[in-house]
Structure formats: C-alpha cells, structure tokens
Structure 1
Amino acid sequence: MAAKERAWCVVVPHHPTGARLARHRLADDLADVVPPTLLADLIAVLAELVGNAVRHARPLPGGVVRVAWRLRPSVDGPRIQLRVTDGGASTGPRIRTANPDAADGRGLHIVAGLATRWGVERDGLGQRVWAEFDPAPAPRPDLVPAG
C-alpha cells in the first residue's frame, strides 16, 4: 500500500474513555493506509499506552493526554511511530514480572512484543512513551520452502 509521510496529533481526556477515543481515531485515520494486521497491532499498543497514562500518570494541563502518530513510507511498507504524552508519574513505565494470577502488569510486555522498539522520554513537563513499528521484511523467494 503506497503512502506519503503523514502525522496526526489528538488530545483525549485523561480518563478511561480517552483510550477508546484514541483507538477509534487511529483506526479511522489508518484503516486505508496500513495492512489490517498492522492496524490491529497499532490499536492494541496505543490502547495500552493511553490506558497506562490514565492509570499511572498525571494529566497534562487541562486534564488531557496527547496522542500522536506518524507514518513514513518505505520500500518495505509503512513505518509507524506512536507517541503518548502525559504529565508524568513518580516512576516511569517499566516492564514488570506479573504473577500468573495478577489482573494486570502485562501491558508493556504486549507493547514490547508487538512494537519493533519502545521507550520513554522525559522533560520538565512530563513524559512521552513511544513505540515504533518497522515494516515486516518481504519474504525472500530463496528462503520459501518448496512444497
């Protein structure tokens, strides 16, 4: 799917409904631009990042969370970066070891498993958690099993 470089930025409430609003906006903006399997991964990661911002961080001024995504075309397919900016927390996001019976604690494992890479940037106003998705390499004909 051919695409040109594009970027979006939306503000959602620092409330559980913020994750739903962000998911729907992302799906609307990228449904015709990225493959469905990539879109599903993007939606899952964005929901997790916004949900974490709402549960664990302070809001930005105005009681909001800023959500942004950027699409960059490449020969192999689109490269996508998601960013969620909030007012920060006393401790930054980190992958935890969750007990099998725990109701939470697995979200950043999902982010790390679906995204190519992820990280956190802090400044005087808060923190930005980002996740990047590189296109899957095209299958090489010389590596496809015969059959």
Structure 2
Amino acid sequence: MRLNVNGTPREIDVEEDMPLLWVLRDELGITGVKYGCGAGLCGACTVHLDGVAVRSCQTFAADAEGTEITTIEGLGTPEALHALQAAWIAHQVAQCGYCQSGQIMQAADLLSTTPAPTDADIDAAMSGNLCRCGTYPRIRAAIHDAARRLQEV
C-alpha cells in the first residue's frame, strides 16, 4: 500500500483494515498521533486526510491510500510553527499535553473553513476533542489568536 504522509510517499505492507492510527504510530513511527479511546470519541488521534480532520483510530489504512495524510508533525516545524502551534505555546494551553496534537489538528480544520470563528463555532468544532486537564478556555483563546495570526499573513 502506498501512502503520502506529511508530503512524503511511504510504502507499507499492512492489512487494508488496519486502523490508520496504528499504521502511523507502529509502522511509520509517527508518534504525535495519540491513542486515546480507540472508538473515535476523544479526538486524540485526529489527523487530516486531504485537509479534513478524521479520527485515525476509525479510518482504515486502505481508506487513506491516495490521500494526503497530515499529522501534527506535518503541520509545522520547530523552525516554522503553524499559527496554531505558536498560539498554543503563547496561551500555555497544554498541561499534560496528551490531547494537544488532536486538538490542534481539529482546530486547523476549523480555521481552514472558518477563518474568523466565533466562540460558538469553536465550541461546536472542538466538542468531540476531550481534554482531561480542562484547558478549554485556553484552547478557545488560542484558536482566536491563531485565526488573527493567519489573517495577518
């Protein structure tokens, strides 16, 4: 099977029904994608397929073939952070940090379709991403900040 992950073509030999989460983590060593619940309910495993947020624990490897897969590692780099990553740092969103890659990937999907989201837009888009530490007010503030940063570019 051929996958394009973070702009790099990759060939893997896995069962077609293997969850993309395990392909990314176990087969390709891309560990920014986190296992949370395995049922698509928490959002920790969120990645983009062709720019749209999906739960990688509920996406089969075969369904990702022919798409552009983007993980948190492909969103920005330490030298060139994505506006969301910079805003996350500025607003000190992360506490334990476990959910953050999924949160950021979901927020990136939101900002791609709604460049100036309201609180209600953010709450609706992010409602499926759980944070056990409860940093939701900081998440919302960081998304607003990132939206402003992206509009300035």
Answer yes or no: same fold by TM over 0.5. Answer: no
Task: Specify which structure has the higher proportion of strand.
Answer: 1
Q: Which has the larger radius of gyration?
A: 1
**TM-score (norm. length: structure 1):** 0.28
